[in-house]
Each structure stands twice: as C-alpha cells, then as structure tokens.
Amino acid sequence: MKRFLHSCTALTLSLAFATSALSQEPLKELGAGEGALSIVAWAGYIERGETDKNFDWVTEFEKTTGCKVSVKTAATSDEMVALMNEGGFDLVTASGDASLRLVAGKRVQPINTDLIPSWSSIDERLRDAPWHTVNGVHYGTPYVWGPNVLMYNTEAFKDAPPTSWKVVFEEMTLPDGKSNKGRIQAYDGPIHVADAANYLMAHKPELGIKSPYELNEEQYKAALDLLRVQRTLVGRYWHDAFIQIDDFKNEGVVASGSWPFQVNLMKGEKLPIASTFPEEGATGWADTTMLHADSEHPNCAYMWMEHSLSPKVQGDVSAWFGTVPSVPAACKGNALLTDEGCANNGYNDFEKIKFWKTPVSKCESQGECVPYHRWVSDYIGVIGGR
C-alpha cells in the first residue's frame, strides 16, 4: 500500500503538457560508455541467464559495451513512478499507465531517434504511439507488448477454458463443482479498476463506457461496486509474479488475471496451467524503455536502447515473458520464440487490447472523467473492505 500513497503526490497532474514540459533537449551525439547502467524493470524483462541459461540478453551487451547492468525489479507502475521520482536510475521499462506521468513530471527526457539505428525497424503501430510520444517528441523506445490474460488451472476447468472474466468478478460454481470464492485473485494495483470497467463495457452497455480508462462518476461507481463484489471472492491480491505462481501451485488458486510470464513459467514446469483471451477482450500493456532526466550513464543507456531493438533480443524477451516484439523481424527465425510465437502471444490482437494509460480528468470520450488519484485512494479502500 505504501507505494500507492508514496506516488500519490505525482498523480494530481492534468497531463495538459505545457511548453515547459517539453523544453528538454535530447542528446545530440553519443560518446563512450560510462561503464554502468541501472534499469528499473518488470520481473523477467532483463535476464542474464540466471534463471535459465538460454535466456540471456545482458552478458553479451556487457562484454561488447563495457556497461555493467544492474536491475531493480518493480511490481507495479506506481512503484516504477516512485522509483524514478527518487532518482538514481538510468532507464525504466514503463507501461502506458506510467509513461505519461513520467513525461509530465519531467522524470524522463526526450530521446534522439537518430542515435538509435534500429528505430526504423519498430512496428509502425508502436513507433509514434501516444504513450511515449507527446507533440511529436519521442520519450522512449518501444520494448515489448501484450495482453493481461486470464490464467486458469486446467484441472478446475477440465472440459473447456473459461470464456469470460465472469469467473473472477462474480460468485459462481466452477466446472469442478466448487465455488470460485477464495480461489481467485485480482491485481494489487489501481489500474485494475480498468479491468472491471472493461467487463462492464460488455455486460452493462447501458452505462455507455467507451474506454475503461475514461469513466464518469456513474461508470466509475459501477466499476467500484463490481470490485467490491470481487473483494468477497479474492483469496489474495497479487503484485509479485512469483508469489502468484506459488499461490497457484500451493494455495488452491484456480483463476486470475495475469501476465503470460507466469503462465509460461508454470507450463514449463508441466503444471496444469493455461491462459485464455476472454470474450470481453482484455486490458494490456505496451512498454517503453525511457531515459531518466538525470541519467548518469546516458551513453550506456542509448547503447542499451539500440541493443533492446535487435531481433534476437526482441525474440528472446518475447519467448521468455510471453510478449509480442516491437520489432516484427523478431517474429521469424528465433529458435526460442519460434515462427508461431508472435501469433500465439497475440500479434494479431493489437486492436482488441485496451492498453494501459493513466486516467485524467479531461478525457476524450466525454469531457469529464474520474482522475487517477481517485483510482488510487478508492482502490486502497476496496482492498481494505470499504
């Protein structure tokens, strides 16, 4: 909970980007590497072969550049924003619900795409995406993207996978004859309000929700009410990927929103786990490697951004985490991802995914919406049983 409160100070922004927010000049030319690089990243995003020797995109980079990589794992976007506000890091793999907060808070700097030779290889759907591009200025390099999937235990759903998010939002008897109460999980982050709103878009169209991140007071109240129902069913809220894995293994959890990373790790252990893309669609994330405004190692950071766009790295990351590469060339010829990997991970579902973004008071679909600082405080209340 502390990470939500700690980052609240940065959440009152309107994201009406003034000229002053764009006054920083990007780096003009690269120099020699500074010998070190610190990255705030999601779990599984920066691997050096310690978990599985086949997945290592750090060691060779260090040998080639002399930039020693250190990683601070963050469990939520709010934690990433808090860490970047504190400083001392060079890069962050920010999702869309954090990236524009970092821009508006001047915690990241514009990048010079001319210093990233592989920039032209980026998927056109991502190259100028609004979660890292403001007034034509780029504030990061696309990394990987994907959906928040519905992970389930195949022994609890023996005949067929669940087709709806209903199994984690409403009390029901599952195919194994037992109630879902106490056997499901929900994400421990205020952006989960959007998952409830996404469910309501399909099941209560009369609410008129156009985007799960743009909710008026009535729509927002309906989402909170649904989350309060979910609170009576949740065995534990998760934000640590490895604790969620342990809960599926040992605590009887059978269904939850999750990331492909957890699914892949458990399937790799031959556990009865699978995932599905429910009929209501899904929220998701498109993550951007962003450079801290006060980075002490900008040359190493630019070298990493270029390295991160190589088809080899893109394919390996996507195979490991279950993501989709930002570089389409990675979809062919990667032994770990395989030529079917991009399609399996959702390459063709881009238009169906409602990518994370920070809710703001002035919204496109209806003028006035509930801003993110309300999501933060109210979701803490929901988890606390209020």
- pLDDT of 256 above 90: yes
Q: Can you tell me the mean pLDDT for 277-289?
A: 95
User: What ranges in 193-278 are assigned the alpha helix state H?
Assistant: 193-203, 217-231, 241-250, 260-268
- pLDDT of 160 above 90: yes
Q: What pLDDT does residue 386 have? A: 80
Q: Can you tell me the mean pLDDT for 316-335?
A: 96
β-pair type (184-187, 324-325):
unpaired
Same domain, 215 and 126: no
Range of the domain at 182: 148-283+359-383
Question: pLDDT grade, residue 13 (50/70/90)?
Answer: very low
Same domain, 113 and 169: no
Q: What pLDDT does residue 7 have? A: 41
Same domain, 260 and 346: no
The domain tally of the chain equals 2
Same domain, 163 and 131: no
Q: What pLDDT does residue 343 have? A: 92
Q: pLDDT (tens digit, 9 = 90+) per residue, 48-66?
A: 999 899 999 999 999 999 9
- pLDDT of 371 above 90: yes
Query: What CATH number should be reported for the domain holding residue 315?
Result: 3.40.190.10
Alpha-carbon span 97 to 51, nearest angstrom:
28
Q: pLDDT (tens digit, 9 = 90+) per residue, 210-234?
A: 999 999 999 999 999 999 999 999 9
H/E stretch holding 60 reads helix 59-65
- pLDDT of 124 above 60: yes
Mean pLDDT taken over the chain: 92
Q: What pLDDT does residue 196 have? A: 98
Q: What pLDDT does residue 385 have? A: 86
Q: What pLDDT does residue 278 have? A: 95
Q: pLDDT (tens digit, 9 = 90+) per residue, 140-159?
A: 999 999 999 999 999 999 99
Q: What pLDDT does residue 197 have? A: 98
Q: What pLDDT does residue 27 have? A: 86
Q: What pLDDT does residue 12 have? A: 41
Phi, psi of 38 (to 5 degrees): -115, 130
Q: What pLDDT does residue 344 have? A: 87
CA distance to 19, 88, 287, 303, per residue, from 308 (Å):
30, 21, 12, 9
Same domain, 120 and 268: no
Same domain, 192 and 337: no
Same domain, 255 and 301: no
- pLDDT of 8 above 50: no
Are 319 and 337 contacting, i.e. CB atoms less than 8 angstroms apart?
Answer: yes
Q: What pLDDT does residue 19 have? A: 35
Same domain, 219 and 363: yes
Same domain, 127 and 239: no
Q: What pLDDT does residue 364 have? A: 85
Q: What pLDDT does residue 209 have? A: 97
Same domain, 197 and 327: no
Same domain, 207 and 320: no
- The pTM (predicted TM-score) of the whole model is 0.86
Same domain, 227 and 366: yes
